[in-house]
Amino acid sequence: MTLETPSPQWKDYELVDSGNGEKLERFGPWYLRRPEPKALWDKTLPPEQWQRLSHTWFRPGAGFAKAGKEDSGTWEMLRKMDQQWHIRYDGYAADGAEASGPAFRLRLGLTSFKHVGVFPEQAPNWEYIWRNTRELVTKSRAADGAAPVKVLNLFAYTGAASLAAKAAGADVTHLDSVRQVVTWARGNMENSGLDGIRWVVEDALKFARREARRGNVYQGIILDPPAYGHGPDGEKWKLDECLFDMLKEVSAILAPRDSFMVLNLYSNGFSATLGETVVRQAFHLPPASSATASQPVGLESGELALTDRSGKILPLSIFVRLRR
């Protein structure tokens, strides 16, 4: 298991401080104060510095984070700031010759569920997606120059992972059950100078099952499912009950060779070991104890985290990545 954090070269984001159930973050020029149940320790900066730095403070409504759900709340404006703004995520130059990572722009905004349109700890996944997609695109072009590399992003939210795959040259299908966030993602594509992403508003499990029946396959599949959710037609999603079925469907539509999958999980009760085990079972892979280096399958798992200015590490999700 590994621990991964965003590159310190990413200048448009910073976790300033964390503790006492909150986090103070900088997105571009603006400082946001938000609840963070995993920040169980004391804050490092004094209260007056939090107050001085913060442009806005999210105050949760009653029932916030109860029963695994996030209730709505309100943003209390402390200093003047934009309601919507953009940040960049840039690929980093290798010897000044070419980008060595994805580059795109994201529009951010203050929502009633404390989210702002990006989960910064996901940056290592964006890098992984870009790197593996680019390798597959290069291999495909060398072989026949025609076969597209198809990447499917399920539970895709505002599309940073979709943009990473598109920037690497893939044919990308972006799926989310909420039309408004798909529209948000389309705007991010256009603001990043990219085009051609396929947009789908649908229940992820329904879509995967239909693709399996049709015999469609993808060279890359990305999943970032919520703990709870609803499809556009009222379909209910509960992670504990649906994840294994979802992964079995994904195993049927992921190409058997020259392919990758990224699974990200936020649920507090899920560990990297649990995530890896459920992937092994869904894909009929041997248990870790019997896996050998000679097998043509690479499986890795770990945690994605943010580090604040004082060095406190805030773990936020677990990932499992499959490459074959």
Give the C-alpha distances (Å, rounded to integers) separating 31 from 35, 116, 152.
Answer: 14, 12, 33
Task: State yes or no: pLDDT of 68 exceeds 60.
Answer: no
| CB-based contacts of 95, cutoff 8 Å, min separation 6 | none
Contact partners, residue 54, CB within 8 Å, separation at least 6: 24, 31, 32, 33, 78, 79
Q: Does the pLDDT of residue 49 top 80, yes or no?
A: yes
pLDDT at position 316 over 70 = yes
How far CA 121 is from CA of 19, 227, 307, 317, 323, in Å, comes to 17, 18, 10, 8, 21
pLDDT band for position 97 (cuts 50, 70, 90): very low
- 8 A C-beta contact, residue 282 and residue 244: yes
- Which range of residues forms the domain containing residue 208? 2-323
Answer for the pair 13, 311: CB distance below 8 angstroms, yes or no.
Answer: no
Residue 2 pairs in a beta bridge with 302
Domain count, the chain: 1
**Quick one: CA dihedral 28, 34, 39, 42, positive or negative?**
positive
pLDDT in tens, 159-211: 999 999 999 999 999 999 999 999 999 999 999 999 999 999 999 999 999 99
**How is residue 45 written in tokens?**
């900066």
| Token code pair at residue 142 | 């060398």
Query: How does the average pLDDT of the chain come out, rounded?
Result: 91
Residue 65 has pLDDT above 70, yes or no: no
pTM of the predicted model over 0.75: yes
**d(Cα 171, Cα 149) in Å, to the nearest integer?**
6
User: Is the CB of residue 81 less than 8 Å from the CB of residue 55?
Assistant: yes
Strand partners for 75: 58
Residues in CB range of 190: below 8 A, 6 or more apart? none
Query: What is the three-class DSSP state of 317?
Result: strand
Cα distance between residue 204 and residue 97, in whole Å: 39
290: confidence class by pLDDT, cuts 50, 70, 90: low
In DSSP terms, which residues pair with 25 in a beta bridge? 15, 32
CATH of the domain at 49: 3.40.50.150
